[in-house]
Structure 1
């Protein structure tokens, strides 16, 4: 049986507290707001991460040339 189905069954049998529900809804709203700001172009550059390759930064940098 899938883990998500078990979790849904447990939530149906024993409902989470109101505090937990408000926390989950708050996190979901925050995620939607951040994604909306980013898609609209209003997200600041300082809060964005640069994409890096699978090997990480600096591992496949330009090769060293012998100094002349």
Structure 2
């Protein structure tokens, strides 16, 4: 861990984020977990699958 992250954690310890921001982050994480759960249990829909056809990407 570098010094920048330690300074950021110290600043957050002195001035924690508001409850509104905490709720927003929790809602975004819950939405992401919901989408992952839907994909795992129901599968990925065919209409969202790409079938290639573009130029190959060089490494």
Per the normalisation by structure 2, the TM-score is 0.65
**Equivalent residue for 2:55?**
59
- Aligned to 1:50, what secondary structure does the other structure show? coil
1:10 positional shift: 2.0
Unaligned runs of 5+ in 2: none
Regions of 4+ moved over 4 Å: none
**RMSD after superposition:** 2.5
**Per chain length, whose mean CA-contact separation is higher, i.e. which structure has more relative contact order (CA < 8 Å, sep 6+)?**
1
1:21 positional shift: 0.6
**Equivalent residue for 1:34?**
35
1:4 positional shift: 3.7
CA distance in 1, matches of 2:37, 2:19: 27
**Larger Rg belongs to:** 1
